[in-house]
A and B are shown apart, each in its own frame.
Chain A
Amino acid sequence: MKKSLLTVLAIVMIAPAFVFAQGDKEEAYNVGFIGPMTGDYANYGILCNNSAVLAVEKFNEAGGINGTPVTLITEDSEGTIEKASSSIEKLSSTDNILALVGPIFTGSTFSVADRCQNEGIPLITPSATHADITKTGDMIFRTVVSDGLQGEVAGHYFYEVLGHRKLAVLYAKNDYSQGLYESMSATFESLGGEIVAAETCLVGDKDFKTQLTKIKAAQPDAIYIPNYTVEMAQILEQAAQLSVGAPFVSCDGFSNPEIYNLAGAYTDGVVYVGPAKVEASDAFNEFAEEYKSVYGIEPDSFAINAYDGANIILNAIKTAAADGKATRQEVRDAIAATKDYEGVGGIINFAENGDLVAYQGVYKVNGTTPEYLGAFQVVNGKLVKVD
């Protein structure tokens, strides 16, 4: 009894010393990855994990951090919030990670982001698009375009370039349409614009005359219709029948060419915000080829984002470890300081809130042909045209 108690005491006293000794001897650089690696959603997680593994391998081949390799620790979330939460506990305490790539899904990302923010672990998600993800705090970043961005560019463009002051909105009751309405109107109102009518519909509705009559009475400068093609075609036609008069502005849903079959000449003059035209760079081709030769499969857009995200984290650790020791806060600051990083998916900058600074294209329909007016982004609350 006495003897065993002594042993336990001895272990308890000595153990920390070992840990400390280890820490003193060599700095361990651990990066975590959380994503669905098994189960129904494994395809998303595996593609992104491949990218992170590839990025770390190449980084270590190139010398790592002053000769010390970085270790990537992958945890399987199975696509569930519960598993993702226990994964971050393990990565945070046992593995003592400096930064995290992932999680993949919006739901898991919300819960993991909370934990990361509390623990002070910087996180970069390659795929969670919900506008509110980065609101969790200053530790949270993403290399995927936020749903909120399109609405933000739209709000600025409508106010600053088109000169609209009073907008009406006719949106559908679903996450996509409502999300665009909310982010666009928040921006538009913060600039001083006014939403004079916000009418709703359901996906599949055919009759919009009641809403359009109310909108007409509100006398807006323009009408924003963030919807799908069939509804937008119907809205455009019925607006003409009611002599609504105000011009229409729209969203990326308008970039589907089916709209011109359904709405024909009614599309003339519509201005919409959608994906910017991107040209494939050499860096991208090189990455895609290497990815395919290693894994035998093409990277999807999230995998591209994951590769860039992992590389930004690795570079940040390198910067932070310049003095021989990296802390999570230093890594976070280095990530935030990322400027014009040439990723495989394009130039990457982070906005103050951690969102990817990305471009949105603006188009104007002339007859039934969309004309590209250029790519735009919002920098420090100002709309900037990208050349």
Chain B
Amino acid sequence: MGSLSEFFQHFVNGLTLGGVYALIALGYTMVYGILKFINFAHGDVLMVGAYIGLFVFDALRGSAPLGAWTFIAFFLAMLISMVLTAALGVVIERVAYKPLRKASRLAPLLSAIGVSFILSNSAAWAWGTQSRKLNYPFDNTPFEIGGVVITPHQVLVLVVSILMMVALKVFVDRSRMGKAMRATSLDQDTARLMGINVNVVISLTFAIGSALAAAGGMLIALDFKAYPTMGMMLGLKAFVAAVVGGIGNIGGAMLGGITLGLLETFGVAVFGIPQAMKDTISFAVLIIVLLVRPQGLLGKVVREKV
């Protein structure tokens, strides 16, 4: 690798990629924290969120030129998409997972894979398989700081992901509902005895996770476009990020996402791993973490009670 500015350019690229991974990883980690179950349909929920955002934004914007209104319209679209996608997440949980809550742990996992296929195939049927462009709500002309080129989009990704992660952290740590979530994740039965409505908490978890996925989906669709299978690889990567950071741990999901984004970028740029092997990096990291530190970077070792 050449100059220092090239290094920082890779750093910025990796950081934005990681920010998006982190945002999606939060959904996995919250659901796992509460239900001890991997919601494999999460990536496809993200895809639906991206499409909703795209359609709402196009409708709100009409033919307006880039300006303050398009910027506002984008965030309105994001808000609407988050609300609708949150509702979708809650419905999926009610229909596909809740009836299986008492079943073996494999059952909801298989159900999730089924939901994943239903969502991506329905999207392909309804909206076609071609990539759709979510137009930038602002002039995405890059600017330069000390030889490093940064686009307004990258700034947006970082700002939105950080804001949402901080908001979530504050919500879970400070609010009453957050306390209820933490209690439910520690011990569902005891939480219920303490008067916590566990069903509401679980619904809320799915709602928040899906809303974050919708925001992440829109941020991604700006750059990578929206298509029915966009959630597959992203979902897997975010899942790896959640496990690497320590599944069930919100801070860990953020750390895991950023780590993964940087590793993928630098693995190719610095360590000369062929680009074709890029996706392998994430999964190699997953295996190493599972072997060396199964609880993840920030995870706590939970001893099984006898």
Give the residues in chain A near B223, CB-CB below 8 Å.
Answer: 206-207, 238
Within 8 A of A (CB), among B134-171: 140, 142, 144, 149, 151, 153
CB contacts (< 8 Å) of B269 on chain A: these are 210, 213-214
With A206-B225, A207-B17, A262-B131 known to touch, is A213 a contact of B10 (CB < 8 Å)? yes
Contact between A209 and B131, CB atoms less than 8 A apart: no
The binding surface of chain A is classed by DSSP as helix
Whether A209 touches B13, Cβ cut-off 8 Å, given contacts A201-B275, A217-B6, A230-B131, is yes
Given contacts A200-B274, A217-B3, A234-B224, contact A210 B268 (CB under 8 A): yes
The docked-state distance in angstroms from the alpha carbon of A217 to that of B270 is: 13
Contact with B along A252-296 (1 / 0, CB 8 A): 000000000110000000000000000000000000000000000
Closest chain A residue to B149 by CB distance? A243
Given known pairs A217-B6, A241-B140, the reply for A199 and B149 (CB within 8 Å) is no
Query: In the complex, how many angstroms separate the beta carbon of B217 from the nearest chain A beta carbon?
Result: 13
B188 contacts the other chain (Cβ, under 8 Å)? no
Contact of B276 among A200, A210, A234, A262 (CB under 8 A): A200
Is B111 interfacial (CB 8 A cutoff)? no
Pick the residue among B2, B17, B140, B275 that contacts A217 (CB under 8 A).
B2
A253 to B151, CA, bound (A): 28
Tell whether A242 pairs with B133 under 8 Å between CB atoms, given A200-B275, A210-B269: no
Would A243 and B144 count as touching, CB distance under 8 A? yes
Give CA–CA (A18, B255) in the complex, Å.
89
Contact residues of A between 225 and 258, Cβ < 8 Å to B = 230, 233-234, 238, 240-243
| A-side contacts of B275, CB under 8 Å | 199-202, 205, 210-211
- Grouping DSSP codes into helix (H, G, I), strand (E, B) and loop, the B interface class, with mixed when no group exceeds half, is helix
A173 CB-CB contact with B under 8 Å:
yes
* Binary contact readout B237-274 vs A (1 if CB under 8 angstroms, 0 otherwise): 00000000000000000000000000011001100001
How far is B264's CA from A261's CA once the two chains are assembled, in angstroms?
Answer: 30
Q: Give the shortest distance, in Å, between B177 (CB) and chain A (any CB).
A: 36
> Which residues does chain B contribute within 8 Å of A207, judged by CB atoms?
17, 223-224
Give the distance in Å from the alpha carbon of A206 to the alpha carbon of B6 in the complex. Answer: 21
In the complex formed, the residue of A with least CB distance to B141 is: A240
Chain B contacts for A230, CB-based, 8 A:
131
What residues of B have a CB within 8 angstroms of the CB of A241 in the complex? 140, 142, 149, 151, 153
Minimum distance in angstroms from B292 CB to a CB of chain A: 26
Q: Could you list 6 further interchain pairs (A-B, Cβ under 8 angstroms) beyond the known A201-B275, A238-B223, A242-B151?
A: A202-B275, A210-B269, A210-B275, A213-B13, A217-B3, A262-B131
Shortest 8 CB-CB distances between A and B: which pairs? A206-B224, A209-B13, A241-B151, A243-B149, A217-B6, A217-B2, A213-B9, A200-B275
* CB-defined A-B contacts under 8 Å, sample of 9: A201-B276, A210-B269, A210-B278, A213-B6, A213-B269, A217-B1, A238-B223, A240-B142, A242-B142
